[in-house]
Amino acid sequence: MSGRQDVVADRNADILVAGTGPVGLIAALALARAGFSVSLVGPEPRLDDRRTTALMKPSLAFLDGLGVGAELAAAGAPLSAMRIVDATRRLVRSRPVTFRAAEIGEDLFGLNIPNTRLNTVLSEAAAAQAGIARLRTTVERWELTPGRAVAHLADGGTASAALVAAADGRASPAREAAGIATRANPLPQAALVLNFAHERDHESVSTEFHTETGPFTQVPLPGGRRSSLVWVVRPAEAEALAALPDEALSRRVEEAMQSMLGKVTVEPGRQVYPLSTVSPSRFAARRVALLGEAAHVIPPIGAQGLNLGIRDVEELTAIAGAHRDDPGGEAALADYDRRRRIDIVARTGAVNLLNRSLLSGFLPAQLARMAGLGALGAFAPLRGFFMREGLRPGSGLAALSGGLREKVGR
């Protein structure tokens, strides 16, 4: 046999995870630890991603269960309060609203972790995990039959499995092969991403300034006097800002933050991410379950994207475990589609609505946004509800109904 033929041998596993972004790596780890044999297909993870990810407590608890909690905690900065400031120059504006973890009995909402560290920790854990065969290549073509999914790989080999966990990103070739119709909308926005040092301590508070072009979000980094920034503006403005000399850009960042943290010094390395939304009509079909950005692409408001992706992984792992005989069969996929639908549709709907209300000059949209923020600022139980729901869907309602039961003495 030639060496080439060694490479092209079929890799047969229970589950094929397509994609080696954070969601694919987490899915491979979770599914292998649940006892499935896993082929993990994708290139080496990107280590030039300058973004940071705010992971909420339930996501961190899940990752801790996968054995990576301590390493991620060492790399992350705690988030103990989140503030929303209406920085629009519109006719109607709301007062700043602060959400404190202590208000709902938590020490912190979560941790902000640099993506390079997140991807490295996850990738090393996947490499060390028994049950994962790591195929450093990409899928060129899918063959999805009623009995099995076969991936034809760029290295000339094939890999087959009963279930495809498609974490292959916003353009998801697996989603397309499964024939899942998708609505994709480019947005008139791009995110400028960078890290910066500042004079005053951030005190573990993240502030999201809402502007007419989108949110400007400062998120704490470890050490007290460094933060990351996601600044959503029109695409041409993002490019213009990214091209500014350090000093001029530092001044612009400080002005946009109303000097809240004193003098700002931007660090080297800026990236611009064009924004879009992608909504598939369903979340599973033909042996393929969609995870992460293959299942939902939303603008970066309120740190929802990867947290939602981690809940996809949790649910898929539980459903595959309940359908061990055929984790990619119709019954398992129907369960996955049904159980992910409410969370994904509600989250993506809320984030898209908030984003549109920022962009909209339409007065009723402005009033609705102001009324919403105003009510949150004034009414602690409602704030508590949103904080709990922000951490985990259903937990706000559970706490509210628990509180009501206590009040009516039942």
Ligand X SMILES: Cc1cc2nc3c(=O)[nH]c(=O)nc-3n(C[C@H](O)[C@H](O)[C@H](O)COP(=O)(O)OP(=O)(O)OC[C@H]3O[C@@H](n4cnc5c(N)ncnc54)[C@H](O)[C@@H]3O)c2cc1C
What six digits make up the tokens of 400?
Answer: 């509210």
Give whichever of 40 and 97 is closer to ligand X, judged by the CB atom.
40
Give whichever of 139 and 370 is closer to ligand X, judged by the CB atom.
139
Write down the least CB distance from residue 173 to ligand X, Å: 5
What whole-number distance in Å separates Cα of residue 194 and Cα of residue 256? 14
Write down the least CB distance from residue 62 to ligand X, Å: 13
Give whichever of 53 and 250 is closer to ligand X, judged by the CB atom.
53
User: Which residues make beta-bridge pairs with 348?
Assistant: none
Helices and strands counted in the chain (H then E): 13, 19
Cβ atoms of 30 and 131 within 8 Å: the answer is no
Give whichever of 299 and 328 is closer to ligand X, judged by the CB atom.
299
Give whichever of 285 and 370 is closer to ligand X, judged by the CB atom.
285
In sign, the C-alpha dihedral spanning 162, 169, 298, 193 is positive
Contacts of 290 (CB under 8 A, 6+ apart): 166, 172, 174, 175, 180, 280, 283, 284, 312
Write down the least CB distance from residue 215 to ligand X, Å: 10
What whole-number distance in Å separates Cα of residue 290 and Cα of residue 301? 22
Write down the least CB distance from residue 98 to ligand X, Å: 19
Write down the least CB distance from residue 35 to ligand X, Å: 23
Write down the least CB distance from residue 335 to ligand X, Å: 21
What six digits make up the tokens of 206?
Answer: 């993240």
Q: Which of 23, 117, 21, 15 is nearest to 66 (CA)?
A: 23
Give whichever of 232 and 376 is closer to ligand X, judged by the CB atom.
232
Q: Which of 196, 197, 153, 166 is nearest to 8 (CA)?
A: 153
Write down the least CB distance from residue 294 to ligand X, Å: 6
Give whichever of 20 and 366 is closer to ligand X, judged by the CB atom.
20
Write down the least CB distance from residue 206 to ligand X, Å: 9
Give whichever of 169 and 366 is closer to ligand X, judged by the CB atom.
169
Q: Which of 244, 243, 245, 265 is nearest to 254 (CA)?
A: 265
Give whichever of 241 and 370 is closer to ligand X, judged by the CB atom.
241
Q: Which H/E stretch holds residue 138?
A: none
Write down the least CB distance from residue 393 to ligand X, Å: 14
- Report the length, in residues, of the chain: 410
- Residues 102-123 as b/e (b if ≥16 CB within 10 A, e otherwise) read eebebebbbbbbbbbbbbebbb
Write down the least CB distance from residue 191 to ligand X, Å: 4
Give whichever of 187 and 230 is closer to ligand X, judged by the CB atom.
230
| Coil, helix or strand at residue 228 | strand
Give whichever of 129 and 307 is closer to ligand X, judged by the CB atom.
307
Applying CB under 6 A, the residues found at the interface with ligand X are 18-24, 41-43, 51, 53-54, 138-139, 167-169, 173, 191, 193, 230, 273, 292-293, 300, 303-307, 309
What whole-number distance in Å separates Cα of residue 22 and Cα of residue 306? 8
In sign, the C-alpha dihedral spanning 197, 201, 206, 211 is negative
What whole-number distance in Å separates Cα of residue 377 and Cα of residue 384? 11
Write down the least CB distance from residue 307 to ligand X, Å: 4
DSSP symbols for 81-107: EEEEEE---SSS----EEEEGGGGT-S
